[in-house]
A and B are shown apart, each in its own frame.
Chain A
């Protein structure tokens, strides 16, 4: 009995799951079947705690060509072009081995994209680290960045945007979420992970199989304890050079129409890729594990099935094309070998040479994986509170102190380690909140932005989850980019706890409501649960990435002011709510706010912003640390402007809000408003457009002028000091 419990623990299956398997098979499990069920029934592969809720997601509209369920989602962006994109977590491995964990996170998501037949064109990352005083933070930050840069730079896919948060909630469980997007040129087809056509060959391509990553998927489905360090051997090792070759070889066989379907060996390696492909196609498979190329000769069949060695693919090839496929891979210096064939029916036969290890239907493993409707208790909405900020210090000192805090300073130290321009399509990258890449064939701009503010999630799960869509959508609109679709990475704690499950359900419903309102379906994504270490759960963090399009190549509105004499407007909701978030946090207090806004009003705001973007010079949506930081960012100069004498353009602001002190107006976040800078000849046009929306308001608050940021008679700071504060950087919390 003790041995049996050990077996269950080793394969991370519960007793009730074991009973379920036995019932479904009508017999006991054979030794080789344990690892199969362990992998495919893991939370990571089966989504067993979340499937009942995920099915309610808004996933379809007329532009969606492929929704969730495939390697990545695909949307039609018009003019014959399509994009595939997805975001995925690599939290657990990155905590244990930050460089490799982050690197293979990037590698894995890239494979999900090119597997669909799209050439990877851009990557982004969403990162959450612990507090700066946590002694793990410098090492994790430094090495995660090294891992992302090292991999992305080498494969030649630009890293164009990112979001980095520091919060003690992530001290022992960091988040590393990687996003990638690929482009289909006119006429290029979507490929699927389907093992169709009896008699077709199963081909293994790419790197040989080693012992790395064995049990990785099951590991990612568990909470951490003191023994996390021991899990290092479960982390995969990446080779971006190999990945680059794999991208080229796979795209070439796809463009030459030599493959029927393909899938990368990601979580749970060969097991999940083959069983899922058979399940999607409704076919059977016959595989000889002895034919798998191995790195070490003594790897067992079980290890082969579970290895998460990187840069490996499974291809389904018609027999007549096999020689041509081998030729293409050979050209790219890659091995590829036939390991089996597709059969009729639904049985997967696993051989070890002549020995039949098992013959098992993919149905109990994939379709019949457990689905739990776990008990949940939704979080209470946060109370509506009065807000009021009053500084004790001198305002000028406070402003410079806050702007230079590592929570708010620019992430230059991070993103200058990423190649942001390879591909020669980059118009704006990490220095702005929306990345913009030019599609040269159709002369349009593809925009992408990340969402989810952990502090807001901590304050109110429902509002925070809506904000994870609203804010990036508005930011995109402020650059003239219309949001089209969303991918998400839902990072939560232990779903077996009612409170955590309640956070998940609430966040998903709220986010979904926002997606519906903006008509931005969720086309792909990933759920990462058990982000829990020693009983401490992370702040619920539904990270999002939003993708959209701007119909012409135009660098306006810019994120900064480039000339004097522009008029500065604050445009927002009439029913605007203020929130004391970042300021409170930095002063050791819990966030509080005046409540939240109506989604329909936010849709009007998006429409209005898109209209304004057509003739305005610069804009900044009010984000963290409110008006102050948005104003400061407007005064920054273009990083591509290398003239050292040029310091940016100053602003003279006169702004008083009824019933609010100047400091409250300055430091509070706003739901939702943006600063717009226009040539005086367009002022009237701006005002007219805003007034056409009955739920919106504007206020002219100043002019661009001189070389200081002047706010009422309250403070005046010269741009040099302001810029130094913003650019103070992260060097004090990195290893270098």
Chain B
């Protein structure tokens, strides 16, 4: 079974057509890097998968269940259930500034009664260790660097044990020297039999971890497949010029 199927996805903001006809499938364990120029629809595509944007038309199927069928969405309760298989990490971290790091991690699982409080706290320590920030457990987000905040955001998403992780430009708001620590964490996660879609401008990183590259431009997927074929000696002029510019 595929983890995600997207068919004929279309989306406009007013008169601006952001997604024109998006089709792709994601297999279990795929690490997909979505690249392409700004405004090509990468982020909107990703946000549609987890119901942060409503598509106008098309199918979105998550682990065999329709989140959206021909533009008609599942009921709110079902949509929530379907999306609970996915975790998401944002460009601007979106940590809860009024909670310390521990509370940031445990609040959602506690509210959803995922497990006993002791188990959730245990998992919290484990996840913070995983991203190398256990010593920050009682800090407030404002005392962390951007890279640390993003690692906490990743740990927070992992607390809910998702099958699929979505990253929306996770390093775009970071200083270049903080980027690597976040990329290392994402690299670790991608080895854990996790399915990952990452929207990124880090082509080198995409090439290193992804087994598939999705190149988007102007609301379409121009190319989707093997990183070597897409990134090295691509015949398509649009892709070639983009890669030459960013590499």
- The answer to whether A binds B is no
